[in-house]
Chain A
Amino acid sequence: MDPDEVEFLGEKSMIEIVPTFNSAPIYFIGGDVGPFRASIPLRVPLWVAVHLKQQQQCKIIPPDWMDLEKLENLKEEEKSNRSFIKMPSEHYIVEAKLILGCAADDIPRTDEIRTIIKDIWDIRKSKLRSSMDQMIKKSAMYAAVDNLTLMEINSIRPLLPHALEQIYRIKSNKRAILNRTQGSVTTPSNATGSFTN
């Protein structure tokens, strides 16, 4: 999956904006948004917020977690923990990129926030690398990835699943069937030629 497809899913996160205009609700297929009253905050999908912000029709209120102090604590906790801690948002990196990208003027200390989110991302990235190496060394065909966000999961794709699939292939070839007529070996999955269930 490409990162812009993960972003596509993350763009459905609801965030708070303050519109600069008045308008009746928008009746999206995916649910009504609005009504819009100038200066009255309301929640809209991220993609709507970004669109309105680009037209300078709203201010974006950063999500609760996008706060320097909270992020500092998060970073410390992530650092001191050997496993992954739960992120305040399933799409923190998408939200950070889009909101900081279009609404820097609405968010105090943007640069520091950007840096610290990048730090957290990097700490988790290096944890991911050593977990991947461990998994491969143990040839483990199962892993819990509970606290990983979708973009993080996607960042170890395709390398980790593909490497495990190759290990599985090397291992299970032990039972491979020599296909005499073709002069080639087929692995069990090919030989059964059928789907599960």
Chain B
Amino acid sequence: MFAEKACSLIKELSRCEEGLPPYNIELVKEVCTEIKQLHEQNKEDGAIVANESEIAGNVNPLYPTLRIGSAAVKRNIRCLLAYHYNRLRTLRTMRWQFGSILPPDIKTNLSSDEIDWFSKYSSCLGKYMRSIGEDGLNLCLDLRPPKSLYIEVKCLIDYGKFELSDGTVLLLKKDSRHYLPRSECEELITQGVFHHIV
């Protein structure tokens, strides 16, 4: 059946609700090949159909073939673009959640186009955030309504040095506990470095 492979690309995404499966370069190539072949065939059939209907004024027997062929091309393209589009949307969410640097094991699942897109998105977003108000506004902060000024956090990894806005430098070790201004540790909580203790 036509577009079977293209649909498997979509199924791969739907099986992976959060996160990204490895970019399936092989299957993408096969889908591209199918599109190219169908497209060539349609062009040939199309020329015949157009030519003959002009002359005879009635419909060429190849017309139904052409209809099905072009539906198959469109279906393939839809699946192929949807595969890429939805992956970019996931990458977008990752930019908001992980920050501008992706973990290496996620990065290996991306195509080079996707890596390019991610840094493009990142810089485009950065530029927008810097343009807000006089001094810019980091929209990756203040994700929840503020409750208290200081919170207790536990460090989940050996993070290393962390400088607070007043210049104090903390050494963040795995399992160390800290009592810090919420605004200073919110981003590290989002990125999974800190665990908020209530």
Contact yes or no, A181 B145, CB < 8 A: no
Interface presence of A32 (CB below 8 A)? no
What residues of chain A lie closer than 8 Å to B78, measured between beta carbons? 182, 184
Query: Distance (Å) between the CB of B51 and the closest chain A CB?
Result: 22
Interface size class of A (residues with CB under 8 A): 10 to 19
Beyond A7-B145, A184-B78, list 13 extra A-B contacts (CB 8 Å). A2-B144, A4-B144, A4-B145, A4-B147, A5-B145, A8-B145, A54-B148, A181-B74, A182-B74, A182-B78, A183-B71, A183-B74, A183-B75
Which residue of the partner chain B has the closest CB to A11?
Answer: B145
11-69 of chain A: CB within 8 A of chain B: 54
**Complex-state Cα separation, A7 to B148, whole angstroms:** 14
Interface residues of B (CB under 8 A from A): 71, 74-75, 78, 144-145, 147-148
B72's closest neighbor in chain A, by CB? A183
Residues of A bordering B, CB below 8 Å: 2, 4-5, 7-8, 54, 181-184
Give CA–CA (A181, B67) in the complex, Å.
10
15 A/B residue pairs, CB under 8 Å, sorted by A: A2-B144, A4-B144, A4-B145, A4-B147, A5-B145, A7-B145, A8-B145, A54-B148, A181-B74, A182-B74, A182-B78, A183-B71, A183-B74, A183-B75, A184-B78
Bound complex: CA of A183 vs CA of B78, how far in Å?
A: 10
A54 to B147, CA, bound (A): 12
For the complex of A and B, the 5 pairs showing the least CB-CB separation, nearest first, are A8-B145, A183-B71, A4-B145, A5-B145, A183-B74
Give the nearest-CB partner of B71 in chain A: A183
Across-interface contacts of A182 in B (CB, < 8 A): 74, 78
Q: What residue in chain B is nearest A7 (Cβ atoms)? A: B145
